[in-house]
Amino acid sequence: MNLDDIRSDIDRIDRQLLQLLSDRADLVHEVGVVKKRDGLQIYAPEREQALLRKLVAMNTGRLPEKSILAIYREIMSAALALEDDLKIAYLGPEGTWTHQAAIKKFGHSVAYSAQPNFSEVFDQVSRRKADYGVVPIENSTEGAVSHTLDLFVDSQLQICAQILMRIENGLMASIPREQIRTLYSHPQVFGQCRNWILRHFPEADLVEVSSTTRAAEIAREKASEGAAALGGPLAAELNGLTLLEECIQDRATNTTRFLVIGEKTCPPTGNDRTSLLFAIHDRPGSLVRALQAFEHFDINMSKIESRPSKRKDWEYIFYVDLAGHCEDPQLRESLEALEKHCSLVKILGSYPDTGE
């Protein structure tokens, strides 16, 4: 076949694809009508998850899993945007890792709303100015994002999905490396790059700012004072900075887990994770007995964190992640057992235990 013949075949397939996409959008619209009638949420992370898994398993062609996921993310994003003016709040400005995680989950067709800090993200969703929020919860190198943990204590919002994202930070500036005197970044990123900073910039001042994109803005504005930023490539690109070095985090597999927060949690998918917080009575053995509630019902606990309660000095709140959905009978029973040892138990949500 010559080039013209092949291209005319591609044109024919594109016409079919377009028709199929349009037919698909009509069906998603029908689903939307039913959901609105029945008072259901338009966005269904459990359905998206199942669909993506099924598509990847069905795929026998030459496109890799990553491409199938990216293409379908955008197809679903476009369909969602037609149904509802879906708005997603995230920690801005544009280009932060949280923004990139939000796009990974919701695609490019929905609306995004940049917020100056995590509490504003919670606030926007609580006041229904945004439908969902995206917040980081923990990083595989630096650990918990404590501000996010604290915000869950007084919030009525629920977790409905998680996003796992590989974080590759870089050094960015508009000046040569030798002129750098001050490094700007988010505290989490300083923690992820601690050894690299000690090796390469032991003398530099480190200044914590609200986000990596804010750091990049300052690196642009204060270049003449020797400013540089640590963050993601998108923040560099949006601020016209040069990436002087890539992948500077101390661990190559540096990954952040982000949460999608909304008004409702997600129905069971068969592979779920449940997050909750609890406070124990101040007496000997309380924590052991609380945790035995999980062991007794054979529930796997994949994570535990503690934070000061902020109500009373030296009183703590524990955050745990459990395998399973809060509607699973076994998990329900273990939570009932847990309540006997606690002054507070709050389920933060159950959601698919995958990262797409």
Binding interface with ligand ISJ (CB under 6 A): 28, 31, 43-44, 47-48, 51, 76, 79-80
Residue nearer to ligand ISJ on the CB measure, 145 or 161: 161
CA 240, 245, 246, 250 torsion: positive or negative? negative
Among 155, 149, 154, residue whose Cα is nearest residue 136: 149
- The CB-of-182 to ligand ISJ minimum distance in angstroms stands at 44
Based on the residue annotation, tell me whether 258 is a catalytic residue of this protein.
yes
Residue nearer to ligand ISJ on the CB measure, 44 or 260: 44
Based on the residue annotation, tell me whether 297 is a catalytic residue of this protein.
no
Residue nearer to ligand ISJ on the CB measure, 76 or 331: 76
Marked catalytic residue, from 96, 256, 265, 274: 256
- The CB-of-39 to ligand ISJ minimum distance in angstroms stands at 14
- The CB-of-82 to ligand ISJ minimum distance in angstroms stands at 10
Residue nearer to ligand ISJ on the CB measure, 191 or 267: 267
Residue nearer to ligand ISJ on the CB measure, 37 or 283: 37
Whole-angstrom CA distances from 286 to 157, 176, 299, 335, 339 are 28, 57, 18, 15, 11
Among 311, 321, 172, residue whose Cα is nearest residue 239: 172
Helices (H), the chain: 3-37, 45-58, 65-83, 97-106, 118-126, 146-153, 187-192, 194-200, 212-221, 233-238, 286-296, 329-339
- Chain centre distance of CA 208: 21
Marked catalytic residue, from 258, 278, 294, 297: 258
* 204-219: burial string, b at 16+ Cβ within 10 Å, e else: eeeeebbbbbbbbbbb
Catalytic residues: 256, 258
